[in-house]
Amino acid sequence: MARKMLIDGEVNHTNQVEEEAHFDFDLFVIGAGSGGVRAARFSANYGAKVGICELPFHPISSEVIGGVGGTCVIRGCVPKKILVYGANFGGEIEDAKNYGWELNEKVDYNWKKLLQKKTDEIIRLNGIYKRLLSNAGVKLYEGEGKIVGPNEVEVTQLDGTKLRYSAKHILIATGSRAQRLAIPGQELAITSDEALSLEDLPKRAVVFGGGYIAVEFASIWRGMGATVDLFFRKELPLRGFDDEMRAVVARNLEGRGINLHPRTNLTELTKTEKGIKIYTDHKEELLADVVLFATGNNNPYACYEGLQYSGLLKQNAIGRQRICRASIAKKQEQKKELRQEKERIDLLLLFCLGRSGVEMCLKEENEHSQTAPNAQIRNAEQARDEDTGDEVGGGVKKKRFSHPSSEEMASGRAGRAPNTKRLNLEAVGVELDNAGAVKVDEYSRTNIPTIWAVGDVTNRMNLTPVALMEGTCFAKTVFAGQPTKPDYNHIPCAVFSIPPFSVVGLSEEQALEQANGDVLVFTSSFNPMKNTISGRQEKTVMKLVVNAETDKVLGASMCGPDAPEVMQGIAVALKCGATKQQFDSTVGIHPSAAEEFVTMRSVTRRVTASGKPKANT
């Protein structure tokens, strides 16, 4: 029976040929990761006949290897979190001593045991995902899928047999894959895939990148006792997140013993008898057992190229906005008012950058002493042209590494690349962006009416729960007669560093960019109760960003133990449009860290849209 699809409240009648055509499937999905499985199951529940294909299982992916469950389950969120749990015990053992636990000085660690437990768990989850599909009545094919026509797919099975099926709708959900940076000796480095399956725990690890993947693996290996050096291009890690909270994360990384190397690029890797030799653009040399490439903009809040194509990037969305870019000349007018705040930023930079970056940072700060304080970090980071990598100064252009461009992503030179190369999309006419991501509209539909795409392959907001949301919205739109657009506002996110960092809503910088009036900033920094006994010198920091006129809470962030668990609840409040007064009127749970979010009543600073702080009144 032919189906009708509702878009914006209007029935979209298919042409007579399609109405009378017979298809093998109502929906065929290529890719059985989080988004694909969700879309397939929900579509089947709405009465659709669904087929899905996925590459054969392996912990380390390639163009011809994958596995049901996708990146998150097999080589992403789940195994990463297992390793984070394992790494946390390193600090817990130290903290336990002041709680009366008498421990031997030497504590042995069995990496291979954890690795086997991790592998057992992802195999179990792979089986669960297969059963979920089977129980929903979805037909699973193991093999490589590609699109050969607007309504036709081809599946190459493991034995080489090719099968072709017709489908009224085709959904692309093939995700993305980690890439290596193109420098001499790149083959000696690993990506996050291999990092989750190393046979031996490294004693010396180098991580190149400043995104959440880099920060998380640096924390994991350090927690397990390795010497870790973290190199990144900017002044602070986690570009795109709230600057003040980025500084907190950097301080914690150093406090845990990770060596930070800001504003530094790796230029070459060579193999020696003593390990991998790393060369930097500052003429540094060091040896490591493993080098992890985790470059590229892997802040999910910055993956909005697809949203810009679809028209979803609105004023209140969190996207790839180039914020606070007023010229230095204009900001010279604010010189007097900014001096005191500049001193605060200088101290902040000193506090978070440590020995390795402070001299360089202070040099640039002195050269640009007129810069507005709330933009100092960002202006320093944006001194190089983001698109070309050219550093401009004194009338001279000098080629430097910078934030990877879309062309770099497309050529596989940085970060993660969408898995679209082997899908035959160009031949069918499906439009891709410069990074190779599938372009879609507000309903996840491509320029070909029968072909759709969800998840990381569209490079919108690359998070597993977002792919699940997109898959759900797709199924409702196409098979339930309920046209539903994914809502990208107030999506919480966590960085599982040690301790973890979690956010929802707007950062202070994003709030200022979008504000029509003043923004109120509330912060709290305190020693967690557990640390008062253990003696660990590591503070929890919380932050709320509030619209001064409406009292609406625009954003929240936290760095400290259990931050993701706390932030999930805060996300519900922001989704419901909570005000600061409603936060203040909520009774806290005592004693807990979370209660601090409902007791922050004193304004830390009041900031105008121009970026100039006002005296608290």
Task: Determine which one of 13, 169, 490, 590 is catalytic.
Answer: 590
Which residue has better confidence, 301 or 17?
301
Q: Mean pLDDT across the stretch 332-356?
A: 44
Residue 215 labelled as part of a binding site: yes
- Whether 303 and 297 have beta carbons less than 8 Å apart is answered as yes
Q: Tens of pLDDT along 533-578? A: 999 999 999 999 999 999 999 999 999 999 999 999 999 999 999 9
pTM metric for this prediction: 0.82
- Whether 158 and 144 have beta carbons less than 8 Å apart is answered as no
Q: Is the pLDDT at 412 greater than 80, yes or no?
A: no
With CA atoms as reference, report the closest residue to 299 among 471, 484, 510, 521. Answer: 510
Classify residue 66 by its DSSP letter. B
With CA atoms as reference, report the closest residue to 334 among 548, 607, 73, 33. Answer: 607
The number of beta carbons lying within 10 Å of the beta carbon of residue 591 is: 7
pLDDT range class, residue 206, cuts 50, 70, 90: very high
The encoded tokens of residue 324 equal 């606070």
Q: Tens of pLDDT along 454-465? A: 999 999 999 999
Q: Mean pLDDT across the stretch 292-297?
A: 84
Residue 175 labelled as part of a binding site: yes
Q: Give the Cα separation of 521 and 554 in Å (integer).
A: 10
The encoded tokens of residue 110 equal 């069995």
Q: Mean pLDDT across the stretch 47-69?
A: 95
Residue 210 labelled as part of a binding site: yes
Share of the chain above pLDDT 90, in %: 73
Q: Mean pLDDT across the stretch 423-445?
A: 97
Q: Give the Cα separation of 522 and 545 in Å (integer).
A: 7
- Whether 237 and 153 have beta carbons less than 8 Å apart is answered as no
Q: Give the Cα separation of 377 and 365 in Å (integer).
A: 9
- Whether 236 and 213 have beta carbons less than 8 Å apart is answered as no
H/E element, 566: helix 563-575
The encoded tokens of residue 65 equal 């290897």
Q: Is the pLDDT at 272 greater than 70, yes or no?
A: yes
pLDDT at 49: 98
Q: Is the pLDDT at 238 greater than 60, yes or no?
A: yes
Q: Which residues contact 479 (CB under 8 A, 6 or more apart)?
A: 3, 26, 27, 42, 43, 46, 47, 48
Domains, the chain, ordered by start: 25-175+414-480 (3.50.50.60), 179-293 (3.50.50.60), 499-607 (3.30.390.30)
Measured CA distances, 146 to 139, 176, 197 (Å):
17, 16, 29
499 cis-preceded (ω within 30 degrees of 0): yes
pLDDT at 103: 85
Mean pLDDT over the full length of the chain: 83
Q: Mean pLDDT across the stretch 340-346?
A: 45
Lowest mean pLDDT among 106-110, 357-361, 506-510: 357-361
pLDDT at 614: 59
Which residue has better confidence, 121 or 615?
121
Residue 176 labelled as part of a binding site: yes
Q: Which residues contact 306 (CB under 8 A, 6 or more apart)?
A: 433, 437, 438, 439, 440, 458, 459, 460
Q: Mean pLDDT across the stretch 264-277?
A: 97
Which residue has better confidence, 76 or 355?
76
Lowest mean pLDDT among 21-35, 39-53, 476-490, 603-617: 603-617
Q: Is the pLDDT at 373 greater than 80, yes or no?
A: no
Q: Is the pLDDT at 384 greater than 70, yes or no?
A: no
Residue 10 labelled as part of a binding site: no
pLDDT range class, residue 604, cuts 50, 70, 90: very high
Residue 214 labelled as part of a binding site: yes
Residue 174 labelled as part of a binding site: yes
Q: Give the Cα separation of 546 and 573 in Å (integer).
A: 13
Residue 70 labelled as part of a binding site: no
- Whether 68 and 133 have beta carbons less than 8 Å apart is answered as yes
pLDDT at 334: 45
pLDDT at 398: 31
pLDDT at 302: 52
Q: Mean pLDDT across the stretch 516-536?
A: 96
For β-strands 553-559 and 451-453, DSSP reports them as: unpaired
pLDDT at 351: 43
Q: Is the pLDDT at 362 greater than 60, yes or no?
A: no
Q: What's the full length of the chain, in residues?
A: 617
Which residue has better confidence, 468 or 397?
468
Share of the chain above pLDDT 70, in %: 76
Q: Give the Cα separation of 313 and 316 in Å (integer).
A: 8
- Burial letters 77-107, b for 16+ CB under 10 A, else e: bbbbebbbebbbebbeeebeeeeeeeeeeee
Q: Which residues contact 444 (CB under 8 A, 6 or more apart)?
A: 452, 453, 454, 458, 470, 473, 474, 477, 486
pLDDT at 611: 58
Residue 268 labelled as part of a binding site: no
pLDDT range class, residue 485, cuts 50, 70, 90: very high
pLDDT at 298: 55
Q: Give the Cα separation of 518 and 363 in Å (integer).
A: 32
pLDDT at 355: 38
Q: Give the Cα separation of 187 and 269 in Å (integer).
A: 9
169 an active-site residue? Answer: no
Q: Tens of pLDDT along 147-196? A: 999 999 999 999 999 999 999 999 999 999 999 999 999 999 999 999 99
The residues with which 425 forms a beta bridge, in sequence order, are none
Q: Which residues contact 342 (CB under 8 A, 6 or more apart)?
A: 365, 369, 373, 376
Residue 81 labelled as part of a binding site: yes
Classify residue 561 by its DSSP letter. T
Classify residue 428 by its DSSP letter. H
